[in-house]
Every structure is written in C-alpha cells, then in structure tokens.
C-alpha cells in the first residue's frame, strides 16, 4: 500500500471540512476522488500534503505515518501536490519555476535529467524557458505546474482540478499528459471536476459527500452507478 487515509477529520478556516474520509492507493494506480463543490476534495489533498493538520485520523505513506509531519518533509518523502489554480510564481521565469520543484535532496541530484524529460514532455515550456511564467496562457501555466511537480521526482503525484478554467482542447491535452505520466508507472491521486474523464482515467475511485467517503469502486463501476450518473453526469 502506498498511501492509506483512515477516518480523517480536518477543519479549514475554523470549519470542519472532513468528517470521516478513508481511502487507499496502491503503487502504480490512478485513483480519482470525485464529489460536488464543498465535499472536501481539496481539503483532503491539502491535509495529505501537510498544509492542514488533521484533527483526527491517520495518514500513512508506505507504512509510515505522516499526518504529524510538516509539508516540506512530506514533499521530501516523494509526495508532490499540484494545487488547484496552479499557484506558479508569476514573476519568475519558466525555468526558475521548474527548478523550484527540485529543491529537496531527493530531486537535486537528477535535476538536469528531470528538466530534459519535462522539456520533452512539454516542448512549449522549453521554448518559453526564459519567459516570465505570469505571461503564459492558462494551459501553459498548468503544464508548468505539472512540470514543477514532476521535478520533485515524486512517488505520488496529487493533482487538484488540473482542467479547471481551460478550453476543451486544452483539457484533452492535459488529460493526455496525465495518461502518459500514468503509463510510465507513476502513482496518481486525481481530484477533477470533469467526472467522466476522471473516472475513465482511474483504476479506482472514491466519492466524497459533505466531508465523508460514501462510495468506492473501479472507475468503470462508478461510471455505471446510479449515484454518479444522477448526481454528477446528469443522466
């Protein structure tokens, strides 16, 4: 088991956002978390990455508890969190944004190899390496955010709403990229508003509702479930 989240409870800005969240991810899996706005999806990722300290429950990474660790130590273990809204450093160049991702010891030794891989994956980032990140298009900024996460050489890549605010053509491009990363054996935890794409990509998935896990199954099983069809697909 790579990641195990059990009976997680956490508050955000003084409001309890997670009441009882449990799920697990095996090595090499793509796992999706779906749910309506306010269900606790983003809070779940922020709690795993150490930005929010849980009030109760357990988070274990490769058998060791991490729910007491600060965010930089969790990242150092190999958990990369690509946040909603991308959160790039707009005044830094594309190259400098990428290099920020390799700040920890586990990534620094292979920094140039990682950089070459990302420029191969995202040629537009190579073309714009010396350009300020804030001048990139929304799709390019999302590519940059993913690239920065990959610079960590993570064992687990957590993506929060990677298609948010993008045109349909760019959404397809981002999902193609995620599929390519997954095909290399990367373990991925995906939170995504595009439920159909998310479940089609996922090996397994979980449904959150008002801060609790209420359903789980393979991506195909949940795509065919009445709960998902009625609540999230409108059919």
Please, are residues 59 and 217 in contact by the beta-carbon 8 Å criterion?
no
- Mean pLDDT of all residues in 103-128: 89
Enumerate the β-bridge partners of residue 25: 3
Closest CA to 185 of 61, 3, 27: 27
- Position 182 scores a pLDDT of 96
Q: Which of 141, 82, 152, 87 shows the shortest CA–CA distance to 114?
A: 152
Q: What is the CATH code of the structural domain delimited by 1-78+155-235?
A: 3.40.50.300
Nearest-angstrom CA–CA distance, 154 and 198: 21
Q: Which residue has the tokens 């140039």?
A: 112
Q: What is the rounded distance in angstroms from the CA atom of residue 231 to the CA atom of residue 222? A: 11
Q: Please, what is the end-to-end C-alpha distance for the chain in angstroms? A: 35
What is the reported pTM?
0.94
User: Residue 235: its pLDDT value, please?
Assistant: 62
Going from N- to C-terminal start, the domains of the chain cover: 1-78+155-235, 90-154
Tell me the average pLDDT across 99-113: 83
Strand pairing report for 30-34 and 204-209: parallel
Token pair belonging to 67: 């729910």
- State residue 230's pLDDT score: 83
Q: How many CB atoms lie within 10 A of CB 21?
A: 28
pLDDT score for 17: 95
DSSP E strands: which ranges in 62-127?
64-65, 79-82
Q: State how far the Cα of 164 lies from the Cα of 99, in Å rounded to an integer.
A: 24
pLDDT above 70 covers a percentage of the chain that reads 99
Average model confidence (pLDDT) across the chain? 93
- 92-106, 116-130, 148-162, 194-208: segment of lowest average pLDDT: 92-106
Q: Find the helix or strand (DSSP H, E) in which 72 lies.
A: helix 71-76
């Amino acid at each position: 088991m790579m990641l195990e989240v059990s009976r997680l409870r956490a508050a955000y800005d003084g409001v309890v956002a997670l009441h009882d969240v449990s799920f697990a991810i095996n090595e090499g899996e793509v796992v999706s978390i779906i749910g309506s706005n306010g269900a606790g999806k983003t809070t779940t990722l922020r709690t795993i990455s150490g930005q929010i300290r849980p009030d109760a429950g357990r988070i274990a990474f490769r058998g060791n508890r991490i729910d007491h660790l600060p965010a930089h130590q969790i990242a150092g273990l190999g958990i990369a969190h690509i946040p909603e809204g991308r959160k790039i450093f707009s005044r830094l160049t594309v190259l400098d944004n990428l290099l920020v991702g390799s700040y920890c010891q586990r990534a620094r030794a292979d920094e140039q190899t990682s950089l070459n891989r990302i420029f191969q994956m995202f040629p537009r980032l190579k073309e714009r390496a010396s350009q300020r990140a804030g001048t990139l298009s929304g799709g390019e900024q999302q590519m940059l955010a993913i690239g920065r996460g990959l610079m960590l050489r993570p064992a687990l890549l957590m993506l929060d709403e990677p298609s948010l605010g993008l045109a349909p053509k760019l959404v397809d491009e981002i999902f193609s990229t995620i599929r390519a990363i997954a095909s290399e054996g990367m373990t991925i935890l995906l939170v995504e508003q595009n439920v159909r794409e998310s479940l089609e990509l996922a090996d397994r998935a979980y449904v959150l509702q008002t801060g609790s896990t209420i359903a789980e199954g393979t991506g195909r099983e949940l795509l065919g479930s009445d709960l998902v069809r009625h609540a999230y697909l409108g059919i």
